[in-house]
Structure 1
Amino acid sequence: MAFSPLRFVAEQQIPLPLEQVWELLSNTDHLNRTLGLPPVSYGAPVDTKEGFYREASAQIFKIFSLSWKEYPFEWIRNERYTVLRLFEGGPLERFFGGVELSREGPGTRVRVFADLTPRNLLGRLIAPLAGQKGVRNTLNYCAKFLELVGSRAEDPLPRPRQRNRTSQKLLDDLLAKLEGLPIQAALIPRLRHRLLEGTDAEVLRMRPFALAELWKADPHEVLRLFLYATKLGLLNLSWEFMCPNCRVAKAEYLTLVQASSRFHCDTCGADYEANLDQYVELRFSVHPAVREAESTVYCIAGPANTPHIIAQQYLPPGAERELSLSLGGEGLRLRALRYNQIASLNRTPDHLRAGDDVPLLHLTYTEGGWEPAPLSYRPGLHRIRLWNRSSKALVAVLEKVRWDPYAVTAAQVTALQEFRDLFSSEVLAPGQQIGIENLSILFTDLKGSTSLYESVGEAPAFRRVRMHFEFLTERIKKNQGALVKTIGDAVMAVFPLPERAVRTALEVQSQIAGFNRSLSVEPPLILKVGVHHGPAIAVNANNYLDYFGRTVNIAARIQRESLGGDVVLTEELFQNPAVQQVLKDFKFEPAIFRTHLKGIEGEFTLYRLSLELPPRS
């Protein structure tokens, strides 16, 4: 006996902005957890003639098990999402449901629906209970969120009732010790609240920069809080290796020593080389002695799991789909999930925009990829028509090119002096090499150090050199960089951002005279400084994290072009927009010159910035 699907719908107007409601409901893992649904076990993706799906199962009331094929979520950001589940045995045959949002005055109209197809008479009895309860509870979840927003809760996300498995005495003892460390004390109560009240998922693999936005705090200060909390044993750190396509963690290591330079993504079906400035992310979890937290999954593929994806659509062979959505001015691309063929969407220059009609972007997918590719677009409302002419099911993903702004990358954190001081053992395995696409390298050296030793004697000269190392380290640390090593009287430092490296270089040169006066250094110390930015290789050098490659070699050679009292930059670094903003804070006149650098091919255009300007005529 075949049963027809039963539809259950509930809708309500919520007096909150549509974007805020989307952020709430698109986090399907947290939604399912809070609604009391059971955790789910997922298998690896299956790609067959039947389609693209994952095998999934869950224990219902710990009595019986449900198994199903879960097909990819489909969504358009800030508009709707749906999911299809085909059950394998049991009282239900099929579930298709989701959420639809639309603007209604200053608020949002929320429509929740569920289509349940019974397999047998038991399913016919269960479906109305499950369907009505599911859609009603989702609206109750929205109402609870609205109530918490009205109470001005810092984090109004509704949470399930849970058994507290926290050792509160140990937590408070460690937090008391944290108060004595050089971190912002105002952040400690927020960390305590998170560790006590957060769900298990919210205290595992925490992201400091994301919490900084929630707490309206300085991201760097929140990161420092987490680093010191880890050193005390309140938290543990881990290194997550992120797939460069789906941007989901695919491997986890407790230390960099354990890390492999290659990892596999089962969703994309590809192997990748690790890259420290994008694909390796630092996350933090509560220490199990402080709180027991289970790593359980309630939904693996909802929109919030991949926030860089604007729209995702599932197209069987031969299917055609038209979407209507608004595109901003950011870099976008269309990607075929699993097969990874990409079509870039490039923004049309402003002067080429024309017409008031809604533009149509028509893309066809075949075994050979997208046609045509790339495409141009102008910001605004678009119709996007997708046609799958391949022989397999297609999951088409429209996504932002820009990497996650909340990621604390390995390149960022290993270029922080405090991280190196606190976790000196966090290095790569001997012989391991991992690339970094963007790193700023600063080299300094003392001018005339040989004559210094001759004129004042070895012991006084060495004391001054050591004090000058402290002077440099203090300013490197202040600008969120790290001292990598000293080489005789020279210093090598790294920074995650070029503007911080340049600011450090200029501050050092502008303040070295005051340093000399404060210590009555005679003859005064004169510094030669050079800065460069580019890709590098991270390696283990005598159990310290070090960097090698052409960028490092160029930076070292550029420093040799310094005359003393100046800063030498490459042309590309000087023209960097963020560096240009830093240069506005200093008075100098650049001198441009071209030269060959020893051992480096080609001629370089360099900028010499001298802070000791001659009187203006």
Structure 2
Amino acid sequence: MQIKLHYKENQKDADKITAFLSNVSDRFLFHIPLYEITKIFNMKREDVLNIFIQGVYDGVFILEWIYHCPICGNVAFEAPSLHYASSQNFCTACNKVFNNTLDDNIEVCFSIHPQLKVLDPSFQAQYMADIGQNIHNGKLRSWEHPHVLRGVDIVQNNLYRTLMASELLIGGQSLLLKQATVLFTDLNASTRFYLDQGDVKAFVLVKEYIRIFFDIIESYHGVPVKTMGDSIMAVFSDPCLAFDAAVKAQQILTQQVQNRAETERLEIKMGLHSGSALLVTLNNRLDYFGLTVNLAAHIHRTARANEIVISQKLYDNPAIKRSIRAVTTTVQKQQIRFKYIADDYTLYHIKVPNEGTAVAAKGEAGASNSTMPV
């Protein structure tokens, strides 16, 4: 078997993995344990995952989606593509229908492509038999371990989204994501900015701001989902990285505009919220849908220039509080009731460029504000 892995970001690591896989047993090539490779070569998990995703695109590996019963761990369904995903599956061991969740019961595995090497069918049979035996012995969800790759690790990977852009949910299907942090950004006073600059110059400046944001979002392991005019929507699996990305973006943009004329200085407002969301296909691309997305959009609209506004759930995260303290000593607390939503929400406004200051937010009906120490 001859394989050659390619990875333009780090070909040296790809070559190491190529040499290693060329000398392993056939059994290792079935459901290849990426975490072992990460440990052996002291590589970053993200780099190893990207090398394997590139390998799928290049025909070196196949990617298998395994839908486990969330109760017992039984394999209810296997598929070679996201195309075959469905919101629900049936467990023959539990005799129950269950909902699929990207960050809970969906496992992804890489195996050598059969065009390069046909593996013994006994590997797959033994895998299924082991899970069945564990269920019989009362050892449930035995497929889980700290290093397991889940569906969320793939759909939240930017290289996967770039190379496998045609990998979409079809037939109106959706997959739940239990933990998603949604970031919305927007250009403050955009109409005035377009009037001052003219469409051509404004487009150039806005395009640069979008590029900066996309680069930062990706560097903090988030996914830039889409742009809507001068607005950006991004989704992160890690809420702390989402907030840190927002802070970094504000800081970089502030540095970028310092030497520009005042009328050319882009001012950005951002909002973040965490919760469950649905992965769906909209406009022929993977997108996110649901109340969490809707609330994040509402939250970002309460921000003023160069503010990041976060929900109570994010503010209660100790790591995010530490990040806030690195930016400012006070935040603006706001009680608000959004239109058509019965519940009150508590928001926190963080002013990034000017340390130790807090700017009152322009709220919606029912909003009240107070300044508080972090």
Task: Say which of 323, 341, 347 aligns to 1:600.
Answer: 341
Q: What CA deviation, in whole Å up to 9, does each residue of 1:435-476 have, x standing for no partner?
A: 111111000000011111111111111121112111110001
CA contact (8 A) 1:209 1:223 kept: no
TM-score by length of 1: 0.53
Deviation at 1:554, TM superposition (A): 0.6
- Matched with 1:533 is 274
- Matched with 1:295 is 121
Q: For the residues of structure 2 that align with 1:270 and 1:462, how far apart are their CA atoms? A: 53
Amino acid at match of 1:510: Q
Q: Report the secondary structure of 2:121's partner residue.
A: coil
Q: For the residues of structure 2 that align with 1:429 and 1:474, how far apart are their CA atoms? A: 29
- Matched with 1:442 is 183
- Matched with 2:15 is 188
Q: What CA deviation, in whole Å up to 9, does each residue of 1:338-374 have, x standing for no partner?
A: 7xxxxxxxxxxxxxxxxxxxxxxxxxxxxxxxxxxxx
TM-score by length of 2: 0.86
- Matched with 2:26 is 200
- Matched with 1:232 is 58
- Matched with 1:86 is none
Task: Say which of 310, 316, 327 aligns to 1:569.
Answer: 310
Q: Report the secondary structure of 2:345's partner residue.
A: strand
Deviation at 1:522, TM superposition (A): 4.1
- Matched with 1:496 is 237
Deviation at 1:555, TM superposition (A): 0.4
- Matched with 1:419 is 160
CA contact (8 A) 1:183 1:224 kept: no
Task: Say which of 112, 127, 130 aligns to 1:286.
Answer: 112
RMSD: 2.8
Task: Say which one has the larger Rg.
Answer: 1
CA contact (8 A) 1:209 1:408 kept: no
CA contact (8 A) 1:539 1:547 kept: yes
Trace 1:142-541 onto structure 2 (pairs within 5 A): 166=1, 168=2, 171=3, 174-175=4-5, 178=6, 181-183=8-10, 185-194=12-21, 196-297=22-123, 299-300=126-127, 395-397=137-139, 404-517=145-258, 522-541=263-282
Q: For the residues of structure 2 that align with 1:611 and 1:528, how far apart are their CA atoms? A: 10
CA contact (8 A) 2:86 2:175 kept: no
Deviation at 1:547, TM superposition (A): 0.9
Q: For the residues of structure 2 that align with 1:521 and 1:233, how far apart are their CA atoms? A: 52
Deviation at 1:518, TM superposition (A): 7.2
Q: For the residues of structure 2 that align with 1:253 and 1:492, how far apart are their CA atoms? A: 30
Q: Report the secondary structure of 1:531's partner residue.
A: strand
Q: Report the secondary structure of 1:408's partner residue.
A: coil
Q: For the residues of structure 1 that align with 2:338 and 2:264, how far apart are their CA atoms? A: 30
**Which runs of 5 or more residues in structure 1 are unaligned?**
1-165, 313-336, 339-394
Deviation at 1:585, TM superposition (A): 4.8
Q: What CA deviation, in whole Å up to 9, does each residue of 1:187-216 have, x standing for no partner?
A: 53134312x233333212224345424543
Q: Which is strand-richer, 1 or 2?
A: 1
Q: Report the secondary structure of 2:279's partner residue.
A: strand
Q: Which has the higher contact order (CA 8 A, sep 6+)?
A: 2
Amino acid at match of 2:10: I
Q: What CA deviation, in whole Å up to 9, does each residue of 1:566-590 have, x standing for no partner?
A: 1111111111134335445544532
**Which runs of 5 or more residues in structure 2 are unaligned?**
358-374
Tell me: CA distance 1:264–1:465, structure 2 relative to 1, closer, same or farther (3 Å): same
Q: Report the secondary structure of 1:492's partner residue.
A: strand
Amino acid at match of 2:195: E
Q: Which is helix-richer, 1 or 2?
A: 2
- Matched with 1:53 is none
Q: What CA deviation, in whole Å up to 9, does each residue of 1:83-107 have, x standing for no partner?
A: xxxxxxxxxxxxxxxxxxxxxxxxx
Deviation at 1:615, TM superposition (A): 6.8
Amino acid at match of 1:612: P
Amino acid at match of 2:20: H
Q: For the residues of structure 1 that align with 2:41 and 2:71, how far apart are their CA atoms? A: 29
Q: Report the secondary structure of 1:609's partner residue.
A: strand
